[in-house]
Amino acid sequence: MESATLKNINKILKDAPENILERVLGYIEGILDDEKSEFKLSDEQKKSLQKIKERSYQQHTDIDTFLNEMNSKYYNYSE
């Protein structure tokens, strides 16, 4: 397939070093894998997110606290 976008990507990367090309390839593969995944939330997860969405701004927690709560609840491990 030759589109204008693909031609532009080829032009930009034409003289790029190998390590950059490998990073770009990994990024592209990651994007394609994300497109293939059919991620579904459980009903419990949907309810949990809805509760968070309904909170007033004063009730919101910082991102680190939120991520720690989600990790402990859904991944059962700590970093």
Higher pLDDT, 6 or 68: 6
pLDDT at residue 48, rounded to an integer: 82
Q: Report whether pLDDT(1) > 70.
A: no
Count Cβ neighbours within 10 Å for each residue of 67-79 and write b for 16 or more, e otherwise.
eeeeeeeeeeeee
d(CA 57, CA 19): 44
pLDDT at residue 78, rounded to an integer: 46
Q: Which of 38, 7, 51, 28 is nearest to 69 (CA)?
A: 51
> pTM for the full model?
0.43
CB 35 within 8 A of CB 27: no
Q: Each residue of 10-66: pLDDT tens digit?
A: 999 999 999 999 999 999 998 888 777 777 888 888 888 888 888 777 777 778 887
